[in-house]
Amino acid sequence: MRAVTWHGRADVQVDTVPDPTLQEDTDVVVEITSSGICGSDLHLIEVMAPFMTKGDVMGHEPMGVVREVGSAVTAVKPGDRVVVPFNISCGTCWMCSQGLQSQCETTQNREQGFGASLFGYTKLYGQVPGGQAEYLRVPFGNTLPIKVPDGPSDDRFVYLSDVLPTSWQAVQYAATPPGGTLLVLGLGPIGDMCTRIAAHLGLRVVASDVVPERLARATARGTEVIASTDQDDVVGEIREKTDGRGADAVIDAVGMEAHGSPGAQLAQKATAILPDALMAQVMKVAGIDRLAAFNTAIEAVRRGGTVSLSGVYGGATDPVPLMRMFDKQIQLRMGQANVWRWVPDILPLLVDGDPLGVDDFATHRVPLEQAPQAYADFREKKDGAVKVLLQP
């Protein structure tokens, strides 16, 4: 089959790789019909490169049609349409029963000290082949795939794999009080979807970004925008909008590669100099993120407010301003999205209509063979690229 594979920093290619097969009696094989490129995929060709291996199949936002099922699979059958969550969870362990599928005890990567395995995402998370491919082996066929109805296009459901639950969790973790103000930092796919979910839930939403197309998308749906990511600008404007207090809650939808952190950016680029095996060990004990967005969140949130992190962070020695956070009595919540925890809340919104605007959320739909150029355009924010769907 054809698949998007990792070949090095800023280097993805489309190769022919072996077709997936059933390995356990609870496995299913899904023929992929759509698969998104995620902002965290870009981390794999930059900061997280030391944890990748040439030939790794990428992608963790797929959906498609079941083609094969193991002998013990009863929940789905060939021909069923399914979305595949990005985190690989058994659905039956204690963590899964608590709605913490991203911490699944069956697939935790204990040797690495990390949580549940992820499709297409580094040695730290199991190095499981991903879904930017023609076919995908999916374990836990009775509990992991999300069965969705026929009829609407893939765009209606594909974001259940990651974008929707990640954004929904970010908004829930922000815990903005009724009538309160939520500030979203970054209007990439997750930040954009956070603004839509928050507005749907009746919150006042303000968002910060500098990319004109992204600001226009948010404005068109009623979001108040701040056309800057400079900390002083963002903090000043959000305080003007909130009687001087700051936002009740802030979602940092940017993460580890935020602009405005020159020292950390230099440290991250240094990872390209050392051999990957050595750099991987260094990053585990001395890695540092660009914290411009995080620091803006700390300053922009009101005293007693909440900061919700959905942007991915991977630093081991990040200088967190604990004195400032303690003094402001800030609550901080974060983590990989627990996909199945939120599916019952989200799926009805996709079946009964399109209040979140998912049908036209993608800005680009391209064939799988054009993935390298799509990655480059998304990375450089060219041609208004916000969300790219690959279609094998």
> In whole angstroms, what is the distance from residue 114 CA to residue 321 CA?
25
93 and 177 housed in the same domain: no
215 and 235 housed in the same domain: yes
Q: Give me the mean pLDDT over the 130-139 stretch.
A: 98
Position 178 scores a pLDDT of 93
Position 312 scores a pLDDT of 80
229 and 181 housed in the same domain: yes
Amino acid at 303: R
Closest by CA to 145, choosing from 342, 4, 339, is 339
The pLDDT tens digits of the residues spanning 296-352 come to 999 999 999 999 999 888 777 788 999 999 999 999 999 999 999 999 999 999 998
192 and 131 housed in the same domain: no
158 and 171 housed in the same domain: no
- Residue whose tokens read 């009687």: 243
- Look at the chain and report how many structural domains it folds into: 2
326 and 368 housed in the same domain: no
Single out the residue in 334, 364, 383 at which a domain terminates: 334
Single out the residue in 301, 316, 334 at which a domain terminates: 334
178 and 307 housed in the same domain: yes
48 and 183 housed in the same domain: no
176 and 59 housed in the same domain: no
Position 263 scores a pLDDT of 47
Cα atoms in the 13 Å half-sphere on the side-chain side of 267: 18
58 and 207 housed in the same domain: no
Domain that holds residue 113: 2-162+338-391
Backbone dihedral angles phi then psi of residue 81, each to the nearest 5 degrees: -95, 130
Tell me the pLDDT band of 260, cut-offs 50, 70 and 90: low
Please give the model's pTM, rounded to 2 decimal places. 0.92
- Report the CATH number that the domain containing residue 317 is assigned in CATH: 3.40.50.720
Tell me the pLDDT band of 286, cut-offs 50, 70 and 90: very low
Percent of the chain surpassing pLDDT 90: 83
Q: Give me the mean pLDDT over the 270-279 stretch.
A: 54
| Res 254 pLDDT > 70 | yes
59 and 195 housed in the same domain: no
> In whole angstroms, what is the distance from residue 49 CA to residue 297 CA?
27
| Res 275 pLDDT > 70 | no
The pLDDT tens digits of the residues spanning 56-90 come to 999 999 999 999 999 999 999 999 999 999 999 99
123 and 154 housed in the same domain: yes
CA dihedral 209, 213, 218, 222 (to 10 degrees): 120
Single out the residue in 309, 334, 359 at which a domain terminates: 334
Pairing of strands 146-147, 2-8: unpaired
> In whole angstroms, what is the distance from residue 143 CA to residue 75 CA?
8
